[in-house]
Amino acid sequence: MSIILPSILLTVVVGMAIAAQTLFAGVLGHRVGVMESVFIIHLGGLVAAGAYLLVLGGGNLGAWKAAPWYVLLFGGLLGVVIVGGYAFVIPRIGLAPAITVAVASQLIFSSLLSHYGVFGAIQQPLTMSRIAGIFVLLLGTWLIVR
């Protein structure tokens, strides 16, 4: 069996989880505050990941020293920006517009990161078809958010 179909199905689950977590961050941020929401959500993630690693006997956690410094420094910080940003904007503009703008931004920025191959991204040139796709993406984003 090819790895592509299970990978696509897992990606669908990930997308659904992002939508649900985003909504939860917005609800929690509206009720307890943005930074409080960030703390609670990350604490829940810490407990879940910690329990999983405990079952695995630590897994490969000791290999953290081989990771690039910027991944260690900014990985958690970006998580705070993501969850905090969603917690702030969801009660103000709604779930679908927030996720739509975020996903469009994510796709455009990842195209640039891939084009230049920075931060370990596999280099994929920004072709005319990809640029056309970005314009279609921007049009779709505008249609959803307006």
Going by the DSSP 8-state scheme, the letter that residue 119 receives in this structure is G
Mean pLDDT, consecutive 10-residue segments, the chain of 146 residues? 88 92 93 95 95 92 92 92 94 93 94 93 95 96 93
Residue with tokens 């009720």, as numbered in its chain: 31
What pLDDT was estimated at residue 120? 87
Residues in the chain: 146
Number of H helices, E strands in the chain: 5, 0
pLDDT (0 to 100) of residue 115: 96
Judge if pTM exceeds 0.85: no
Q: 15-49: buried (b, 16+ CB within 10 Å) or exposed (e) per residue?
A: eeeeeebbebbbebbeeeebeebbbbbeeeeeeee
Tokens (6 digits) for 19 = 């939508």
In the prediction, which pLDDT does 1 show? 63
The two three-digit tokens of residue 25, written as one number: 């961050």
pLDDT of residue 2: 87
